[in-house]
């Protein structure tokens, strides 16, 4: 896909997504407990970054809103780096309008209710106080109900059980168009391959286990067809 991205760079007006703007979220978010501790979701960002690259390869202008990852920036993509879910939402809203939003980040559902400004001290022999949590904003639901809603909003669902049933319910609950669902009870997070189910208004497609780059390429082509 590097070659394709280079081609897209060389011919920015070309490709089925030329003239389209895509927002892609990727990676985890980090929610501070104090200056040294945080809560996070497991996510390498590989799938989201691959989707950003695949959309750019089809000619889209891509804004990639990425949590902390150890990946290089995909070529030809504008990267906005964020830490927390609230920063990620703000960066997505700042990037609107867009034709499509793909929310592939593993956003932390919860943040710490009151992050400490100084490092919390361990008191020897004493159990730590429980950590009060607060609900984070729901980026997928917010973009799906946004006054400047992208025409196509795609969410991801990482499930450990009842993968497809949970994904169908999630699609309805969030108000998005498609859900890409995967079973993370194995070794998907951080791995190189992914077996996903694409849940749309038309039903459920089961895709074979594929390299994440190939999942991204197929999804980008489906997005191009939907926006055509």
Q: Does 156 bind a copy of itself (CB under 8 A)?
A: no
Asked if residue 168 binds a copy of itself (CB under 8 A), the reply is no
With binding defined as CB under 8 A, does residue 184 bind a copy of itself? yes
Query: Which residue in 18, 40, 96, 210 binds a copy of itself (CB under 8 A)?
Result: 40
Task: Yes or no: say if 141 and 174 are a contact pair by the CB < 8 Å rule.
Answer: yes
Can you tell me which of 25, 26, 41, 47 binds a copy of itself, judged by CB under 8 A?
41
Cβ proximity to a copy of itself: between 2 and 131 the closer is 131
Q: Which of 12, 19, 35, 97 binds a copy of itself (CB under 8 A)?
A: 35
The catalytic residue among 41, 136, 182, 194 is: 41
Residue of the chain from 5, 54, 92, 106 that contacts a copy of itself (CB under 8 A): 106
44, with CB counted inside 10 A (0-12, 13-18, 19+), is buried
Q: Which residues contact 2 (CB under 8 A, 6 or more apart)?
A: 75
- Select 189 or 210, whichever has its Cβ closest to a copy of itself: 189
Choice between 128 and 208, CB closer to a copy of itself: 128
Task: Identify the H or E element spanning 164.
Answer: helix 163-174
Which backbone phi and psi does 47 adopt, to 5 degrees?
Answer: -70, -45
CB of 96 to a copy of itself, least distance (A): 24
Cα–Cα–Cα angle for 223, 64, 115, nearest 5°? 130
DSSP 8-state secondary structure symbol assigned to residue 28: B
Asked whether position 118 contacts a copy of itself by CB under 8 A, the answer is: yes
Residue 159 binding a copy of itself, by CB under 8 A: yes
CB-nearer residue toward a copy of itself: 110 or 207:
110
- Half-sphere CA count of 135, side-chain side, radius 13 A: 3
Question: Cβ neighbours of residue 207 under 8 Å, at least 6 residues apart?
Answer: 195, 196, 197, 198, 215, 218
Identify the H or E element spanning 43.
Answer: none
From CA 164, how far away is CA 198, in angstroms rounded?
9
* Annotated catalytic residue 166: no
The residue within the footprint of a copy of itself, chosen from 13, 130, 147, 208 (CB under 8 A), is 130
Tell me the catalytic residues: 41
Site residues, a copy of itself (CB under 8 A) = 33, 35-42, 70, 106, 108-110, 118-119, 122, 124, 126-135, 158-161, 173, 184-185, 189
């Amino acid at each position: 896909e590097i070659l394709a991205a280079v081609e897209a760079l060389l011919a920015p007006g070309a490709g089925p997504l030329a003239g389209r703007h895509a927002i892609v979220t990727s990676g985890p978010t980090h929610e501070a407990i104090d200056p040294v501790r945080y809560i996070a979701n497991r996510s390498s960002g590989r799938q989201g970054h691959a989707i950003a690259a695949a959309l750019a390869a089809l000619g889209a202008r891509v804004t990639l809103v990425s949590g902390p990852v150890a990946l290089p920036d995909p070529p030809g993509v504008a990267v906005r780096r964020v830490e927390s879910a609230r920063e990620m939402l703000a960066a997505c809203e700042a990037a609107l309008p867009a034709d499509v939003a793909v929310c592939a980040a593993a956003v932390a559902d919860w943040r710490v209710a009151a992050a400490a400004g100084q490092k919390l001290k361990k008191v020897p022999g004493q159990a730590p106080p429980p950590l009060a949590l607060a609900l984070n904003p729901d980026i997928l639901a917010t973009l799906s109900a946004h006054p400047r809603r992208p025409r196509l909003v795609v969410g991801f669902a990482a499930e450990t059980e009842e993968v497809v049933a949970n994904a169908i319910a999630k699609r309805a609950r969030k108000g998005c168009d498609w859900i890409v669902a995967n079973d993370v009870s194995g070794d998907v997070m951080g791995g190189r391959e992914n077996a996903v189910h694409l849940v749309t208004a038309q039903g459920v497609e089961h895709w074979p286990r594929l390299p994440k780059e190939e999942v991204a390429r197929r999804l980008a082509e489906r997005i191009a067809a939907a926006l055509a």
